[in-house]
Structure 1
């Protein structure tokens, strides 16, 4: 852990926060300790506001394009790419069963968000911003080509009669440390357009949107 914090040049105060950030539920369940999910929740918001601020200050495009760019830059696939640049996977604490398989993308993305939550709690917004500038901004070129199916579906739907779409988690299966989620995307909260599954709610929603694009007459072939 100290090697990671030194690499990030963090003048940390509470090392236990960073240990918690990298504690997956499978390890927590086996060792009767706390898991990183609350820090993940916080870190998701920290990264989100910093990305919005970055895109606004860069004045890259209009609101619609910035929204799409933000979705690309904070999706699971993007978070994994950032995490790879600091070898975060090597520091994640897993239970014995998960250790044999290694951390999957969902675990890595969650740990990356939790790390930002820990930095924010330990050192404040200033150091979280410095880490964002050090780890995320230089690697944004790696994520601009990521397909964001939710934004694409939203564009097609709203290009017509301004109808609304919403996402619903319809099923959760598996133990707490290895859940699988099923999501549906609905038009006007009534008509189901697509269904998808994933290891996280975000992944399930993306796959539901992808399913909707495949099924619907949205002239979307070039986006898939």
Structure 2
């Protein structure tokens, strides 16, 4: 595995990150298509937990909401879609190490990959610098989304479930109707139906997001 490029080192410095162990950061930025034996997957596992604790502590300190509301916001703030949003905002896509086929298949713009690499970077930072500096990094990078209303509204699937019950309808049913593209850049199309009312479809880079978007589309059309 080669060293961190100067371009990537300069980018990390702009984020306030000075790598101590280059191997961690190289692994965090490496997709399995580039190097199978040392990539971001294990660091992603760790970073996911570090991110969750960092956001949970932040919410607890800044918000007097009950547990249910805190959980709702936490889930939104640590979701793969939010991680991908943060990744794009800091210019992460340009620094991911991808194999030729993955690049050609558009992996650099995949929400799944961007979210995973974002978490892997937090895992690398935790191992390199400890929890408190990593928590501070999370607070800097997530400041804009934290300040917004992400997670304040009820999740679209929950809203649809309650709408169906309130209108004496059967619960909504979700069906995966298509899965296209390679594994690292897959696209999922989901249909949600409520008996005797109608259906709506949506496509996203993961099944959960497609279900959410389908529920939103249904409520816009029938709610």
TM-score by length of 1: 0.69
Q: Pick one of 149, 156, 161 that aligns with 1:144.
A: 149
1:8 aligns with 2:15: yes
Q: 1:182/1:152 Cα in 2 relative to 1: closer, same or farther (>3 Å)?
A: closer
Is contact 1:92-1:103 (8 Å) kept? yes
1:85 aligns with 2:81: no
Instruction: Provide structure 1 residue ranges, at least 5 long, that are not aligned to the other structure.
Output: 186-192
Q: 1:178/1:138 Cα in 2 relative to 1: closer, same or farther (>3 Å)?
A: closer
Is contact 2:190-2:211 (8 Å) kept? yes
The CA distance in 2 between the partners of 1:168 and 1:21, in whole Å, is 34
* Range that drifts further, 3-12 or 129-138: 3-12
Q: Pick one of 200, 210, 220 that aligns with 1:207.
A: 210
For residues 2-39 of structure 1, the C-alpha deviation after alignment (integer angstroms, 9 at most, x for no partner) is 113322223432111111111112212xxx43221121
TM-score by length of 2: 0.70
Is contact 1:26-1:177 (8 Å) kept? no
Q: Which residue of 2 aligns with 1:98?
A: 102
Provide the alpha-carbon RMSD of the alignment. Answer: 3.9
Is contact 1:40-1:111 (8 Å) kept? yes
> Equivalent residues in 2 for 1:31-42 (5 A)?
32-42=36-46
Q: Pick one of 33, 39, 59 that aligns with 1:55.
A: 59
1:184: Cα distance to partner?
9.8
The CA distance in 1 between the partners of 2:51 and 2:138, in whole Å, is 8
Q: Which residue of 2 aligns with 1:27?
A: 34
Instruction: Provide structure 2 residue ranges, at least 5 long, that are not aligned to the other structure.
Output: 1-7, 193-198
Q: 1:145/1:131 Cα in 2 relative to 1: closer, same or farther (>3 Å)?
A: closer
Aligned length, in residue pairs = 205
SS in 1 for 2:68: helix
1:210: Cα distance to partner?
4.0
